[in-house]
Structure 1
Amino acid sequence: MWLTNCNVVDVESGTVLRGRSVEMERGIITEIASAGPPPGAAVHDLGGRYLMPGFISCHTHLSVVYPFSATDEAENPAITAYRSAVRAQDALRSGVTTMRCVHEQNRADLMLREAAAHGWIDAPRIFGAGRAISRPNGHGKGADCAYATGAAEFGAAAREELRAGADHLKIFITGGLAHEGEDFGEPEMTDEEIRATVEAAHEHDSYVAAHAGAWQAIRQALAQGVRSFEHAYDLDEETARRMLEAGAFLTPTLCVTRSESWMRAKGFEEFSIRNALDAADRHLASIRTAVRTGVPIVAGTDYPPGDDVDGVSAHVHEMLLLATAGLSNLDVLRSASLTAARLVGAETFLGQVAPGYAADVVALRDNPLEDLEALRDVSFVGSGGRIIRDDDLGETRTAG
């Protein structure tokens, strides 16, 4: 199939290739041509829309229950999988064609990944962590995490998730905002526990993502080999510099502290809402520090990315917030494409509209390099060369 009459957004060069036709075959982009497709080819006219890589969301939870206190750790895995599948499909229709899950109850991410591979469900490409690993009374308590105390237990729990099929590991090195009385600056793991988890990941050519509220624990985890950090509600310039030097990635999840209406609609406890709002200014200032320092930034929501937040998907909401933290329009696009693909180790296959890359694409009516507000109007989604959604009802026909 060919997508015709489209303007291709090149997120590597920051330019637009106008009036192009894009050939997709067996889920791969095979050609980008300035001429039209050959006679007899199947074509789908995009009507001059702007074609860019499908979004990669790097901090996703599909199985989460709101409010958090309603989570049943003994829930039937089938129920967990069903809830997660609906959210995965919502995310795909919103333009999220790849997601990195960083804890799912009953390892629902790994189940959905397998179901999608068999063609039983339409879902984004999934890089999954299975269950996150938490101390029994740590930030992950009550969420059906793997629970561990001491280096040996953390190492064993890490290897268990990897044997189950996890692509990466998730740990909690500080408290967070979810629980009453929590302190997001309070460290929750020892050097030995962090190191044991990192060593297990390295044995499987994998890496560790760390829930990290504040700079002290980030420095601690950097020293033990962690290279992916989530949230950073309180980050100083020196720690940001160390992250840059170590080649670490940061997923800010700014929407966590800037989505009050969504939190209230989902029935969050008042203390959770208050915790989030109280951290909002410090959070934004910290991410501005990371951006100014040059830390690689990737987009992720901490919420189901297809949820509606004030009229846009949670993922687009996050991308727009990243611009308020100082990212250029191009770097915002890269946070959900090129940079995100580097984080998940798929930069030669995901994150660009180019020959040899996955045919995972979205189309917008306006140019996002000129105006990020164009992201609010995703009108076309393609995944693996299949058309998932076209709001403009473009028809597939045969070229003359």
Structure 2
Amino acid sequence: GHGADGGHEVDGVDAVVQGVRQALKMGVDNIKMMVTGGVLRNGETPDDIQFNFEEVQAAVAEAHHKGKTVAAHAQGNAGVKEAVQAGVDTVEHAFDIDDETIEMMRQHGTVIVPTMNAMYAIYKYGEKTVPAWAREKVIVNIKKHFASITKAAAAGIPIAMGTDAGTPYNGFEDESAYEMQLYVDKAGMTPAQAIDTATINCARAMHVADEYGTISAGKFADFIAMTANPIEDIRVIQQDKDVFQHGIQVHQAAKTDGVDEQVPVRQVG
């Protein structure tokens, strides 16, 4: 099933419990379950359910006993509902959600990690390089995905920024900043809301909001600095910037003749 190449295959509640306990013993901080199928594996669809409710619920119980979080790769509506009902902390992707799903998320305090660029990059650039069977699944689902995240954000469901980096045309450089631009351009968020997805919302989703997520007394001083205002144009976050970690500057933006160097930003079609 989806994720088998990079994860641990289990079958049945007992095997799920054993797998989660073994992972916790090895020191993991998060359990991720592939609740549904996905795009980049042939022979499955985002609507396929790979774990039943009892299996997901058992994984959540074991992880939560140790104070660890559970993420669910869940794309189709039925799989998202199952994951939310079972108590996962975050749902990754969430291609197709309806009003009932949103209300369930509100009741359970579920966070959505949309990973919009994982789909959009394949849609935009993958016509000649991504297998036709994968791109077809993107074409079928991408409008539903944009509409679902738009609806969830408007309803106040917490959105946490994630990129699913490593999928085609979706790397490890400026994709986080570009993901935030997609939230504005494709999901109707304000730039301020998009910034929250990458700061306080992520900190809350990871249960580290006491130390991270805002610039506040007593928290780690992790922040970026730039001359342009991202509240006016979210795209400027993709430009070179000063980066501070725990109060120490770890990267300085390139300057030319005393002026910050501005680099091109990607356009959303």
TM-score, L = length of structure 1: 0.59
Aligned residue identity for 1:202: H
The corresponding residue for 2:260 is none
Which of the numbers 181, 186, 197 marks the counterpart of 1:320?
Answer: 181
- Distance in 2 (CA, whole Å) between partners of 1:158 and 1:267 is 36
List aligned pairs for 1:163-312, cutoff 5 A: 163-260=25-122, 264=126, 268-304=130-166
- Distance in 1 (CA, whole Å) between partners of 2:121 and 2:226 is 24
List aligned pairs for 1:71-110, cutoff 5 A: none
Conserved? CA contact 1:300–1:318, under 8 Å: yes
- Displacement of 1:184: 0.5
Q: What SS does the corresponding residue of 1:216 show, helix, strand or coil?
A: helix
Higher strand proportion (structure 1 or 2): 1
- Displacement of 1:171: 0.2
Query: Structure 2: which 5+ runs fail to align?
Result: 257-269
Aligned residue identity for 2:227: R
Is 1:373 aligned to residue 229 of structure 2?
no
- Distance in 1 (CA, whole Å) between partners of 2:102 and 2:204 is 19
- Distance in 2 (CA, whole Å) between partners of 1:173 and 1:181 is 16
Is 1:158 aligned to residue 34 of structure 2?
no
Per the alignment, do residues 261 and 244 of structure 1 end up closer, same or farther by CA in structure 2, a change over 3 Å counting? closer
After superposition, give the CA deviation of every residue in 1:272-313 in whole Å (9 maximum; x if it has no partner): 2332233211110111111122110011000159x877xx71
Alignment RMSD: 2.3
Conserved? CA contact 2:117–2:170, under 8 Å: no
- Displacement of 1:343: 0.5
- Distance in 2 (CA, whole Å) between partners of 1:252 and 1:172 is 15
Per the alignment, do residues 265 and 166 of structure 1 end up closer, same or farther by CA in structure 2, a change over 3 Å counting? farther
- Distance in 1 (CA, whole Å) between partners of 2:146 and 2:104 is 19
- Distance in 1 (CA, whole Å) between partners of 2:103 and 2:214 is 28
- Distance in 2 (CA, whole Å) between partners of 1:160 and 1:179 is 26
Identity score, percent = 28
Conserved? CA contact 1:167–1:206, under 8 Å: yes
Aligned residue identity for 2:205: L
Query: Structure 1: which 5+ runs fail to align?
Result: 1-137, 395-400
- Displacement of 1:219: 1.8
TM-score, L = length of structure 2: 0.86
Per the alignment, do residues 215 and 308 of structure 1 end up closer, same or farther by CA in structure 2, a change over 3 Å counting? closer
Conserved? CA contact 1:241–1:293, under 8 Å: no
- Distance in 1 (CA, whole Å) between partners of 2:254 and 2:39 is 41
After superposition, give the CA deviation of every residue in 1:213-257 in whole Å (9 maximum; x if it has no partner): 122122222222223101011111210121012111000111111
Q: What SS does the corresponding residue of 1:302 show, helix, strand or coil?
A: coil
The corresponding residue for 2:261 is none
- Displacement of 1:336: 0.3
Aligned residue identity for 1:273: R
List aligned pairs for 1:45-124, cutoff 5 A: none
- Distance in 2 (CA, whole Å) between partners of 1:389 and 1:274 is 40
Per the alignment, do residues 316 and 176 of structure 1 end up closer, same or farther by CA in structure 2, a change over 3 Å counting? same
- Distance in 2 (CA, whole Å) between partners of 1:267 and 1:315 is 23
After superposition, give the CA deviation of every residue in 1:188-215 in whole Å (9 maximum; x if it has no partner): 1112211210111122012211000122
Larger Rg: 1
The corresponding residue for 2:262 is none
Aligned residue identity for 2:3: G
Conserved? CA contact 2:85–2:104, under 8 Å: no
Is 1:330 aligned to residue 184 of structure 2?
no
List aligned pairs for 1:123-134, cutoff 5 A: none
The corresponding residue for 1:341 is 203
- Distance in 1 (CA, whole Å) between partners of 2:122 and 2:40 is 14
Conserved? CA contact 1:362–1:378, under 8 Å: no
- Distance in 2 (CA, whole Å) between partners of 1:186 and 1:392 is 48
Conserved? CA contact 2:83–2:91, under 8 Å: no
- Displacement of 1:139: 0.9
- Distance in 2 (CA, whole Å) between partners of 1:180 and 1:332 is 33
Per the alignment, do residues 343 and 267 of structure 1 end up closer, same or farther by CA in structure 2, a change over 3 Å counting? same
